[in-house]
Chain A
Amino acid sequence: MSDQTTDRPMIRLVELTKTYPGRTAPAVDALSLDVPEGEIVVFVGPSGCGKTTTMKLINRLIEPTSGRILLDGEDVTHVDPDRLRRGIGYAIQQTGLFPHRTVAENIATVPKLLGWDRTRVAERVDALLHMVGLAPEEYRDLHPRQLSGGQQQRVGVARALAADPPVLLMDEPFGAIDPLTRETLQNELLRIQREIRKTIVFVTHDIDEAVKMGDRIAIFAEGGRVVQYDTPERILSEPADDFVSDFIGAGASVRRLSLTRIGDATVAEDWPTLPFSADASERAAAVAAGDHDFLLLLDDGLPVEWLPSSGGGGLPVLAPVGPDHTLYDALDTMLSNNSDVVVVTDAQGRYRGTLDLPTIQDLIHVDDAAGVPTRVSRSTSRRSGEPR
């Protein structure tokens, strides 16, 4: 039993139990857990471990057998469930968009229930479409079946956020989406979350997704027990027991690289660079001065070409990594480009520095030795508020 309390929980579950009629074993067993305000808490675990049940206990789509649910300090175990749910955003894997309603009408559902006036609803719909990356004038009047899976899920998220609820429940929201789109949506949800700072409970069975999305992760085991509730760093570096280790699987140290965004990492800034406009003699002088095999040519701050010191034509800079990429992406780029260095840019694509293979190896090992997260905490990176 993992009992974790924080100063100001937005959601507090107290000894929450759900036993379905006709079953002896509870689906969720005396679960106590706090979800701090403004954080993403991921419920992760194998199928049938009670993570979705636990989430549905929070908005009482499933009524608990015993125990209490506190929302922002208020006991909501017995309040009117419909009113409770209007204050909690809800997004699910199959989106559940209303097929007979337009995108705008779908998003307007809860605001209309709450009696907002038309202008306010229309403004809110457009703002939300904009936020989830869909041009309002283009998508407002379409029906769900005219959208791709990824677009439907964006509308689903917009609909869940419509009435600006402090709490958002998301049940495998990106589970049925192709890996490429899923990654885009994950990044966008993190970007949106940096702006709106909601308290989010996110259910998934994918540990990689959990590590990427979660400020904290609750690992569920059979019978609705939470075996570890901790930050992703600590879960990866100090799994509580064999079940957690098995669930994380192999490659925890590599996976931990995905916790550090390059925007938060220190990069080497001593690689020799040269303006693209430099003429042949300037290039020759620079090659002679340095001991690197390649010089980096910058065009107005943007990395464009590697210039080999051995002479010959330049090579294009392939796939530089930006601040929102992780160290894992940097390693992946190096391996797939068969290179031991990768160019790092800022959000505008300007040259910031370089990362090389030995640096990343050191980071993995420093981590292992100290058991200390290298990641600059999410809350800090949020406050720095990079736009994308």
Chain B
Amino acid sequence: MTGFLDYTSGNVDALLQATLEHTVLVLQGLGLAVLIGLPLAALTYRARSRTAVLAVAGVFLTIPSYALFGLLITPLGLGTAPSVVALTLYAFLPVLRNAIVGLREIDPAVVESARGMGLSRLQVLLRVELPLALPVIITGLRVAAQMLLGIAAIAAAVNGPGLGNLILQGLSSAGTPFAVYLTLQGVLGIIVLAILFDLLFAALNRLTTSRGMIHV
């Protein structure tokens, strides 16, 4: 234990740097998934094509992460690019599915009365449907973020940034005492991030949910 703490005080800068990179990487993947997933959900949630879209998003999730990162090297090279794209693909299903479910769960009478009062399709979506679906959408983001924090460690295998590099270094120096320390740093860093992200999303959910929608 003292050995681990001593070691950590020696490389704390590298640890913080890796943690920051890891956070940014996950946020990039998540952000991209939201940018593509939300409009896609808004376009397809009423249409039959949503089943096909969800099926494709589901397939991404079944590809083993090592393989997906590896496959992306061919078109995107090494480093951050394939890492972000891989994470986006993994986040796609929870983001898209929750958005579709959230939009479909809205009381049809609310949408009908909004249309009946003369709100345009876009106004109904932005002022009524998205705010009402927001709690479900945020839950999707929360699930996706937890998942990405773990998967992002694989990015190190394609020269990507993040805490995975500490774990990878640990693996490559197996047999030395540092091996365990490095791996432990990577793992603990991810756990701490997971807790922080969860708190963040809980706060976000509370902030964006109207008083009128909290079920007591």
Judged by a CB distance under 8 angstroms, whether B35 is at the interface is: no
Assess whether A92 is in contact with B210, with CB atoms less than 8 Å apart: no
Chain B contact residues (Cβ within 8 angstroms of A): what range? 20 to 34
Within 8 A of B (CB), among A182-196: none
Residues of A within 8 A of B110 (CB): 96-99
Judged by a CB distance under 8 angstroms, whether B48 is at the interface is: no
Of A59, A82, A101, A156, the residue contacting B212 (CB under 8 A) is A101
Residues of B within 8 A of A100 (CB): 131-132, 210, 212-213
Judged by a CB distance under 8 angstroms, whether A378 is at the interface is: no
Bound: A100/B210 CA distance, A = 5
Within 8 A of A (CB), among B92-129: 107, 109-120, 123, 128
Residue of A at shortest CB range from B128?
Answer: A98
Chain A contact residues (Cβ within 8 angstroms of B): what range? 20 to 34
Interface of B is mostly: helix
Bound: A133/B212 CA distance, A = 22
Bound: A96/B113 CA distance, A = 5
Given A97-B110, A98-B110, A113-B118 contact (CB < 8 Å): yes
26 CB-based A-B contacts, threshold 8 Å: A61-B116, A82-B118, A82-B119, A82-B120, A85-B117, A86-B118, A90-B117, A92-B113, A95-B109, A96-B109, A96-B113, A97-B110, A97-B113, A98-B114, A98-B132, A99-B210, A101-B210, A102-B212, A109-B114, A109-B117, A109-B119, A113-B119, A143-B210, A145-B212, A146-B212, A156-B113
B-binding residues in A (CB < 8 A)? 59, 61, 82-87, 90-102, 109-110, 113, 143-146, 156, 159, 169
A-binding residues in B (CB < 8 A)? 107, 109-120, 123, 128, 131-132, 210-213, 215
Given A96-B109, A99-B132, A113-B119, 11 other A-B contacts at CB below 8 A?
A86-B117, A87-B118, A92-B116, A95-B109, A96-B112, A97-B110, A97-B113, A98-B128, A99-B110, A100-B212, A109-B117
